[in-house]
Amino acid sequence: MYHLSSRGYRTIAFDRRGFGRSDQPWTGYDYDTFADDIHQLIEHLQLTDITLVGFSMSGGDVTRYIARHGTSKVAKLALLGSVVPAFVKSDDHPQGIDECVFTGIKAGILKDRAQFLTDFNPIFFGIDIGQKVSSAILNRTMTVAMLASLKATIGCVTAFSMTDFRPDMDKINVPTLAIHGSSDVVAPYEATAKLATQMIADCTVKLYEGAPHGFPVTHTDRLNEDLLEFLQS
């Protein structure tokens, strides 16, 4: 955000319901509600000519926003390590991840969220495959995660794992940039971005060789320049 703002763009981020400084309601942890939350923010701030950027599960937020609210105020879309178009394995999506994996994630979070996240971070950032991430980044990530509502955390695992965005994809009618790490084991490229780029009419894909799911941290400079180039195109 600082990189783009320093070059004349207005950048806006928000804390998803249940996370950060947002309220922590018991309900609403589904993509229709997430998309409507974005819609309310856009209307409140009277935004137009927007480039929506969604990382990881937020790729679903911005995709569902377009499906529900259209692109009259959206100029471009960027999907970074996104979970769309579908995540869980099914008969018609054999590339997906077994549902039992997500069941195990939720069980681990409920049993000992702090330990689960501590164990998960090296996979998220690719430390286990040689990426270098400071201990301060890991501490910051833990702080953000632990401030979230437990209910929201569990609800989001269900949402991003079980939601099928394939019916939404043909509603994306703006230039789209998909960026993904080739070594992403959290949201594997073959099961997500590779398929998404085939389903979006105007989509450019950039595959970061050897990058993990957390490439916005491990490949910050490259991502900054790619997003800037996309905005300027």
Q: pLDDT by residue (tens digit) across 31-69?
A: 999 999 999 999 999 999 999 999 999 999 999 999 999
Predicted local distance difference test score (pLDDT) of residue 223:
98
Sheet arrangement for strand 176-181:
50-55, 74-80, 176-181, 203-208
94 pLDDT tier (thresholds 50, 70, 90): very high
195 pLDDT tier (thresholds 50, 70, 90): very high
Averaged over 60-87, what is the pLDDT? Answer: 97
224 pLDDT tier (thresholds 50, 70, 90): very high
CA distance 86 to 56: 12
98 pLDDT tier (thresholds 50, 70, 90): very high
113's tokens? 């969220």
Other CB atoms closer than 10 Å to residue 69's CB: what's the count? 17
Predicted local distance difference test score (pLDDT) of residue 192:
94
Predicted local distance difference test score (pLDDT) of residue 52:
98
Percent of the chain with pLDDT over 90: 100
Q: What is the CATH number of domain 29-232?
A: 3.40.50.1820
| Torsion sign, CA atoms 137, 26, 168, 162 | positive
Query: Which sequence spans correspond to the domains of the chain?
Result: 29-232
Q: Which residues lie closer than 8 Å to 177 by C-beta, 6 or more apart?
A: 76, 77, 78, 79, 203, 204, 205, 206, 226, 227, 230
Q: pLDDT by residue (tens digit) across 104-161?
A: 999 999 999 999 999 999 999 999 999 999 999 999 999 999 999 999 999 999 999 9
Phi, psi of 214 (to 5 degrees): -85, 40
CA distance 213 to 14: 21
Active site positions, annotated: 56, 184, 213
Percent of the chain with pLDDT over 70: 100
